[in-house]
Amino acid sequence: MSWIPQDLSSLCAVHTSITNCSPSTFLFLKLIATLFGGSRDAEDEYLSGFGNFHNFHGAIEQEEFDFIVVGAGSAGCVLANRLTEIEKWNVLLLEAGGEEPEAADIPAFPPIMQGSSIDWQYLTQPSSTSCRSRTNGRCSWARGKAMGGSSTINYMIYMRGSPLDYDEWAAMGNTGWKYTDVLPYFIKSEDNRNLDRVEAYYHGVGGYLTVENFPYQDVNIRTIIDGFRELGLDEFDQNTERLIGTMLLQTTSRDGERLSSNGAFIRPIRNKRDNLTIRTRTYVTRIIIDPDTKVTLGVEYQDKHGNVKQAFARKEVLVSAGSINSPKLLMLSGIGPYEELSQHEIPVLKELSVGYNLHDHTTLDGLVFALSNKTSTDVDDEQRDSDVRYYQQTHRGPLSSTGPLQVNAFVQTLYANGDRPDVQYSFDSTNVGNYLEDVVLTAETNNQPLCYYNAITVRPILLNPISRGVIRLNNSDPVFGDPLIYANTFSERLDLLTITEGIKQALNLLRTSKLQDAGYQLVDIPLPSCSHHDFGSDDYWMCIATEYTTTLYHPVGTCKMGPKNDKDAVVDAKLRVYGIKNLRVIDASIMPNIIRGNTNAPTIMIAEKASDLIKNAWLKAEAHVYTAPYDVTEKNYK
């Protein structure tokens, strides 16, 4: 199945002059689908599980593996790679989406990927404290639905967070998760090609995951970095032991192409390791657990034809479906809050706080710097199409980067405690005409490459939110319906005060000679929902944050890691689900507190560490003679 771009027809049905809804945009998306709609992995689909068995007489087919990994995202791809390093272990990797399309490889295309056929297209539930001016009061939470998961649609930023974040995890009772414990796993994955520009002690070479700067940077990138330097921020590698400062971002890319976890960890071994089976477009509906012994036996899923199948795990089932779908799957399987499961008539096998502790890196639309003709990178349709074909031939040019999103800065507001930042800055490309015409529709229909822009949306990002949300099952269709996301963003006033201070600090950039010389200007026309406030006042910016809320797409925490005495914990420090044997959750949902930085690299680290935890447990067990597999399981999981 080819990649399908976002359907703009209904969104663009209203009368509008924004370029996102122009005929040229529709033609451009058609060109992208034609040139890049296929997948370099598509030929593997038959070999990876489709068409090589049949459902006779409606019987549920059954197979057996050593390990079953649910979800081929940032974590699942790492697990599938590392566990199949043990030749005697057979691993089944199940992914609800299809193969990764070539269109996703183009660094400037994340906005085009979001809302397309490789996005779950989740929406939050309406709230009185956030997203109020979005359509129906709901914010978009894009999540990847393809091989590579969200690493196939994200912005490719490689950022580890503060060492103190991991020390905090350990201090909460999670033994083995201090910074000194996890740093080797960051290094293990990495093949860093910027060692002349970063501190080599903290980086690795020769790993599966290439980390480098993009080959293309336009003039605005250096201007913004120099502006931060003029404000007193040092420029240095923020993947070390300090964060407060600025840098040209390192990215998960290779030679001008995106490098998803699929591209990094699966593509090099696919069809080379006989002990790895991959099945795409398989929708796991429940984990099979013995209700008496609480031993995990396997999973039940539907294939792309709607056939119900079962796969059994001799050792473990590893859930890596992400912070939205991992808690959903646990709850569908009888693991979760009693009230939630009872409401849906799901027998409760283990009552745990599954779905709670949801938090995210929140930001906003509404702080925009307009550019002069000197620094605008806008091009006409003919030049844009020419750049596409040039990229196709060379993997170079403007499309080989993410425009101004290559700049990063961390700062402290007056609400920060200790030595860690509480606000991060990201710089997103935009069109000032579209923004002024309809900021909400512009966001919902954004299919413009990141490299073409005449204005920059400055995004202050709340790094350490206090507000917490929850994931619940769909009331109408808990199995196949979208889970209900109650983000509860800005439900704690301190979060709103902090992001407002972040906005005010960002405005200092406009006072620097670097931005003044380049002709940057604040777009000071109030947005409609906040026009009753004085533009630039604290009340105005707090209104912007609650009305035009958006996200960095970093949800975490819904299967919280914690010690046994933590009533909110779902998994222990070895990521084993409490009270259920042979079941682990391995993805960003286990983070007890979100790290101060982008979450893709830490999620890969979590999977690297988990792979060693699994190997150490089972290889040690297999070195001894035993007759019943559950004897060893109970010993290890007591």
pLDDT in tens, 175-192: 999 999 999 999 999 999
**56 pLDDT higher than 90:** no
Q: In whole angstroms, give the CA distance from residue 161 to residue 103.
A: 29
CA quadruple 242, 246, 252, 256: dihedral positive or negative?
negative
Contacts of 201 (CB under 8 A, 6+ apart): none
Asked, for residue 2, whether it belongs to a domain, the answer is: no
Asked, for residue 168, whether it belongs to a domain, the answer is: yes
Asked, for residue 638, whether it belongs to a domain, the answer is: no
The residue-averaged pLDDT of 466-478 equals: 98
> How high is the mean pLDDT of the chain?
94
Both tokens of 226, joined, read 């120099």
Backbone dihedral region for residue 310 (phi beyond 0: left; psi -120 to 50: alpha; all else: beta): beta
**534 pLDDT higher than 50:** yes
Catalytic residue among 54, 305, 554, 624: 554
Asked, for residue 3, whether it belongs to a domain, the answer is: no
CATH number reported for the structural domain that contains residue 100 in this entry:
3.50.50.60
Inter-CA distances, 120 with 165, 333, 599, Å: 29, 21, 18
**51 pLDDT higher than 50:** no
Asked, for residue 402, whether it belongs to a domain, the answer is: yes
395 catalytic per annotation: no
Domain residue limits at 341: 11-45+64-124+131-620
pLDDT in tens, 601-631: 999 999 999 999 999 999 988 875 433 333 3
Contacts of 537 (CB under 8 A, 6+ apart): none
Q: How confident is the model at residue 58 (pLDDT cuts 50, 70, 90)?
A: low
Coil, strand or helix at 628: coil
- The helix (run of H) or strand (run of E) holding residue 66 is strand 61-70
pLDDT in tens, 238-265: 999 999 999 999 999 999 999 999 999 9
Asked, for residue 52, whether it belongs to a domain, the answer is: no
**634 pLDDT higher than 70:** no
Asked, for residue 635, whether it belongs to a domain, the answer is: no
The residue-averaged pLDDT of 447-473 equals: 98
Number of domains observed in the structure of the chain:
1
| Rounded percentage of the chain residues whose pLDDT exceeds 70 | 95
Task: Supply the pLDDT for residue 627.
Answer: 37
Task: Supply the pLDDT for residue 2.
Answer: 85
Task: Supply the pLDDT for residue 608.
Answer: 98
**495 pLDDT higher than 70:** yes
Task: Supply the pLDDT for residue 630.
Answer: 32
**484 pLDDT higher than 80:** yes
pLDDT in tens, 559-595: 999 999 999 999 999 999 999 999 999 999 999 999 9
The residue-averaged pLDDT of 534-540 equals: 98
Who has greater pLDDT, 506 or 15? 506
Backbone angles phi, psi at 89, to 5 degrees: -95, 130
167-173 LR contacts (CB < 8 Å, sep 24+): 168/593, 169/561, 169/591, 169/592, 169/593, 172/562, 172/563, 172/566, 172/592, 172/593, 173/562, 173/563, 173/565, 173/566, 173/573
**637 pLDDT higher than 70:** no
The residue-averaged pLDDT of 151-173 equals: 98
Asked, for residue 59, whether it belongs to a domain, the answer is: no
